[in-house]
Amino acid sequence: MESLLECLPRESRVAILRFRSLGDCVLTTPALAILKRCRPDLRVAVVVEDRFRAIFEENPGVDEILRPQLSLLRRYRPALCLNLHGGSRSAWMTAASGARYRAGFGHYRHQFVYNVRIPRAQQILGVERTVHTAEHLASAMFYLGAPVEEVGAANLVAATLRVASAEPLPIATQRVATTIIHPIAATPEKTWHAEGFLAVAGRLKSSGLEPIFIGAAGDDLSPFRAYRTISGAPLSEIKRLLSTASLFVGNDSGPAHMAAAFGLPVVVIFGASNPAIWGPWRTVSEVVTAPGGSIAQVSISQVLDALQRISMGTKKAHV
């Protein structure tokens, strides 16, 4: 029996609904790579909010980027509309997309929308363990017909650097002695205290790495004003910054996934979130947690010890 991907005519259009958020967008990129390897002829559009557009810019698995507007989606005329967002609005847009095939996971609400219902990732992968978000999203491609394979690293593309009489080189090849520190998170339960990050910055500076604190436009970075801070920079600029850095330290948040996508060694401090689901994917990493899941109980010494292990090479890549 032919799979759905085998049934799609050559050069069919596929729309992937992935409205937000930052970490989810980054962790969608391995699934896009799998789709393109299976059917390079397909024209793939990602439907995403403008504030996260830069995550998919210049990605070889993406042919177009669309705002989440029904008129744009219908004008695109997808043969397959795959909802990887899962909310009510994305379900409504999937239903009205005009696509012959409308796919979404079986645990999503509004199941009447989908004529292709994707089972749980464990069933597709043949495992019963907890699966990482990158695996969960990639499993949709396997169910649709892509050959099952190891789920690779996330893929972000930063600007390129041109050298006289040479081909353009990825800017990530020009690493500098900086550590990007992201001391912000979506909720207090995911935010480690400023005193801890200042202690980390002091240790890094003494070891010869320049700490750079980053945050969104509304984030308060004033506790870290003794160091270089970057507030409210566009995502494209954050991509360039991460692509040239040597290390990342921060809370469990979107920039941590961006750093992992660029292959940086990362130290990530977790609160209540499950690192097996949201940990750094496919990069050298240290995950720091406290018993009971309270990020306030993570000690400064725990994080400094993690930094030491990273620097000494006693570390692992999350698989």
Other beta carbons within 10 Å of 79: 19
- For the stretch 228-243, pLDDT in tens is 999 999 999 999 999 9
Summary mean pLDDT of the chain: 92
Rounded average pLDDT over 4-19 = 98
User: Would the pLDDT of 317 be above 60?
Assistant: no
| pLDDT number for residue 168 | 38
User: Would the pLDDT of 315 be above 70?
Assistant: no
| pLDDT number for residue 251 | 97
- For the stretch 143-161, pLDDT in tens is 999 999 999 999 999 965 4
At 176, the pLDDT band (50, 70, 90 cuts) reads: confident
At 163, the pLDDT band (50, 70, 90 cuts) reads: very low
Rounded average pLDDT over 214-225 = 96
- For the stretch 53-71, pLDDT in tens is 999 999 999 999 999 999 9
pTM: 0.92
| pLDDT number for residue 160 | 53
How buried is residue 3: exposed, middle or buried, by Cβ count under 10 Å (0-12/13-18/19+)?
A: middle
| pLDDT number for residue 167 | 40
In CATH, the number for domain 4-144 is 3.40.50.2000
| pLDDT number for residue 149 | 96
| pLDDT number for residue 166 | 37
Please tell me the number of Cα atoms within 13 Å of 136 on its side-chain side: 19
| pLDDT number for residue 1 | 77
Token pair listed for 74: 């219908």
User: Would the pLDDT of 27 be above 70?
Assistant: yes
The tokens 């796919």 sit on which residue?
Answer: 103
**Integer Cα distance of 37 and 54 in angstroms:** 22
Rounded average pLDDT over 23-33 = 98
| pLDDT number for residue 214 | 98
At 174, the pLDDT band (50, 70, 90 cuts) reads: low
User: Would the pLDDT of 304 be above 60?
Assistant: yes
CATH 3.40.50.2000 domain locations along the chain: 4-144, 169-317
At 319, the pLDDT band (50, 70, 90 cuts) reads: very low
- For the stretch 80-135, pLDDT in tens is 999 999 999 999 999 999 999 999 999 998 999 999 999 999 999 999 999 999 99
Q: Does domain 169-317 have CATH number 3.40.50.2000?
A: yes
Other beta carbons within 10 Å of 305: 14
The tokens 């009205």 sit on which residue?
Answer: 96
At 271, the pLDDT band (50, 70, 90 cuts) reads: very high
**Integer Cα distance of 187 and 169 in angstroms:** 38
| pLDDT number for residue 272 | 84
Beta bridge partners of 286: 267
Sequence letter at residue 158: A
| pLDDT number for residue 151 | 98
